[in-house]
Structure 1
């Protein structure tokens, strides 16, 4: 059987070509053992990426180990069960005299340095808010993470799919409420009661009557039309 370069590296790192590693799908990590537990499978991992031995500052390939460290990053469920990952990785000494970093711990793209989550957990949490209509709290509960993590993941997701700057606003639609107040009711004006201002110079809008009004002004425009947001409710 022909082996890919990654399969060959996994074989040399763990002694076997492990189909479980393929099933887990975390690039740069190899599975060396799986044990059943009441809370789900316990998956033992080792580093299977030669780049992890390169100093992140100077790029020097490390030759001297400084010991081992065990981390437990959280990942997505596999086969309906959430695995408990146990990653045994090395600390290395950087022998480059000009480098300020004297030692470093192995890291891979799937689990960045000083992170307790895999990148695909963060990506899934952000996509749940952006694409699936879930709230930040719901996505945090479903992915077993805190809501600040989900909020940051959603921001990263939005930055990746949205343009750097939105399209400039050409028409500003406005809706006023009548009778709003504590304990009272609010009545929306019909479409004909909505104002439509046209974009002017920076920070200002041109009212339908033609006079320039600040975008912070609370003054109601003298005339209203339905050309701004005709389908707004």
Structure 2
């Protein structure tokens, strides 16, 4: 695999390549319609909205960001379309009726001779490469599990996601919080919680019932703060 070594030149341009990395007018035109503003996904423009029989809405969108035509490997903007593709990323709910996104995107050829990548498909920060859900849906799901939903499964059902995707969203949401230093504890307390119901057994000789298992969980907690 070829290695492209590049250094930064003037105004953020990457040099050391055969072609420049400035915007070259790749044919992406901005159309800020009311429907696009209502959808609110940065870099996507609404082209058509369909209402199907069950009341669901199918929203057809196209790329509305020139940076999506830049090669992810070398940064050179492409003007050569190789083909087209359609993806169906999931997004946050809108009202009671379901909504389905249909992203009509393009595949571009990378004409930079020093770049090992031959072609690439449009992607955006709002919908990263190979992502099946939008960034904001992933964020909403992770925050919901941390603050509102009773379980990962409940959030997955609400947003129409699989359990692994919902769990990954939760982990991504809490990792920055867990990385922060914990403030010192001022008051230490003891918290006891019964784990399930006690189990009873009958003595075969006396016939009396006695507790066989009674599980309790004892934890040391921060009684005056929010450290757990």
User: 5+ residue gaps in structure 1?
Assistant: 1-8, 197-227
**Are 1:162 and 2:190 counterparts?**
no
Which residue of the partner structure matches residue 38 of structure 2? 23
By relative contact order (CA 8 Å, sep 6+), the higher-ranking structure is 2
Shift in Å, 1:77:
1.5
Aligned residue among 206, 214, 224 for 1:186: 214
Alignment of 1:1-233 (within 5 A): 13=29, 17-39=32-54, 40-166=56-182, 184-186=212-214
SS at match of 1:35: strand
User: For residues 186 and 170 of structure 1, do their structure 2 counterparts lie closer, same or farther at Cα, with a shift above 3 Å needed?
Assistant: farther
> Aligned partners of 1:188 and 1:54: how far apart in 2?
59
The structure with the greater share of residues assigned to strand is 2
TM-score under structure 2 length normalisation = 0.69
User: 5+ residue gaps in structure 2?
Assistant: 1-24, 201-211
**Preserved contact between residue 185 and residue 222 of structure 2 (Cα < 8 Å):** no
> Aligned partners of 1:154 and 1:128: how far apart in 2?
8
Aligned length: 184
Structure 1 vs Structure 2 CA RMSD? 3.4
TM-score under structure 1 length normalisation = 0.67
